[in-house]
Amino acid sequence: MTKMVYLFQYNVKISSTLPDALVRPAGHRKAQNMDTLTCGFIGLGLIGGSIAKALRAAVPDVHIIACDTNASSLALAKEEHIVNETAAAIDVTFSRCDYIFLCAPVSCNNENLAKLNQFLSPRTIVTDVGSVKTGIHRQIEALGLQRQFIGGHPMTGSERFGYANSNAALLENAYYILTPSEETTSEQVDAYRRLVESLGTIPLILHYEEHDYVTAAISHLPHVIAASLVNLVKNADSREGIMKMVAAGGFKDITRIASSSPDMWQQICLTNTENISKLLKDYIKSLNDVVFCLDYRAENALYDFFETARNYRESFQDVSSGPLKAEYVFTVDIADKPGAIAAIASLLAAHDVSIKNIGINHNREFAEGALRIEFYDRTALESAIEIMTEGGYRLHTKK
């Protein structure tokens, strides 16, 4: 099915289908006299590693060069045959790249760009994966690299971090926002858009300032709220930790992202400060409105508050491709005896169904089901439901 995206700053509409062959930046293949797509990664953590793995799956003969301060990550990436070549530092090795992905922490981008600039081929397209775009675009302008920069932000992630937790499946059906510089051509943008689309993502092209406001609302602010809610419960809990002990699915679901890297979120808050602060003030005002409704027992206003939120939340037609990632999960009733969990894992493994995550619900939210199993995609979920139902297990699913 053809997808349509809009390049706002160029006012050009681009028709998109998965390419028969990936397109390099204009003239790069001819200049290098080579057929192999070459991509460089500066930083190979959760997102960089996931993109590299998705690239390897989509373009098996891609040549990947990686540089990272974590030597064990590089060694593992080579052992897994994801990376072909490693570099101890940013050097002339990266001059051979068609695309270079800046995947180190946002705070390192300026320094890395300055080092990279002296080795950069004029035909190479530089991109990044940061969730804040204004800072990197200003640095690109300061270095005079506007003609070869296309900002990138895959709208995906995990509370876990590091290359060891990277997975190509993280990119499946996720929006991949592109923020081209004003001097990049539509041909360059179209080539890169097709590349990220081949990874299973949904490209969306925005101006970088609009990107930062949008992500502040649907990504950055929720992390601040989740962390503040966890800290609130921590401070309000009794010495015995009763709140922590009985914390159930609802609380865990809305605070899961509070487990994300504090270093990363510190940097995001310090780089998208204005947008986060404005939206946080709006959110605080809305909470004060709720306090007023509670204090004056305004039952109609409270009903409208919850109904409006429910209706808008249910209007998300496909949460798997939007800011709220779909969870492919069910809970299963199991006997409280040794080997019960291993039997389920073995049953699914025997049918080649991969499990993304598995955990015990000690509080038994469904009064029966006690084991929560999460899968990478809907196909795996549906297969697991069929297999386990035929095996006599009782499953519980919820939206």
Give me the CATH number covering residue 62.
3.40.50.720
Identify the CATH number of the domain in which residue 254 sits. Answer: 1.10.3660.10
In this structure, the answer to whether residues 31 and 100 fall within a common structural domain is yes
State residue 328 phi and psi, 5-degree precision: -100, 90
- Is 323 a domain residue? no
Q: What are residue 373's DSSP bridge partners?
A: 330, 358
Instruction: From 317, 337, 353, give the residue that closes a domain.
Output: 317
Spans of the chain, pLDDT less than 50: 1-21, 29-34, 318-324, 363-369
In this structure, the answer to whether residues 91 and 118 fall within a common structural domain is yes
- Is 322 a domain residue? no
Measured between alpha carbons, how far is residue 188 from residues 7, 210, 268, 333, 351 in Å?
A: 12, 21, 28, 53, 43
In this structure, the answer to whether residues 245 and 133 fall within a common structural domain is no
Measured between alpha carbons, how far is residue 233 from residues 226, 245, 252, 286 in Å?
A: 11, 11, 12, 20
Largest CA distance in the chain: 74
**349 is in which domain, residue-wise?**
328-396
Residue with tokens 């970088």: 208
- Is 132 a domain residue? yes
Q: What is the pLDDT of residue 397?
A: 74
Q: What is the pLDDT of residue 331?
A: 85
Q: What is the pLDDT of residue 365?
A: 43
In this structure, the answer to whether residues 86 and 149 fall within a common structural domain is yes
Q: At 200, list the tokens.
A: 């299973």
Whole-model pTM: value is: 0.72
Sign of CA dihedral 159, 208, 217, 190: negative
Q: At 265, list the tokens.
A: 């979120």
Q: How many domains does the chain have?
A: 3
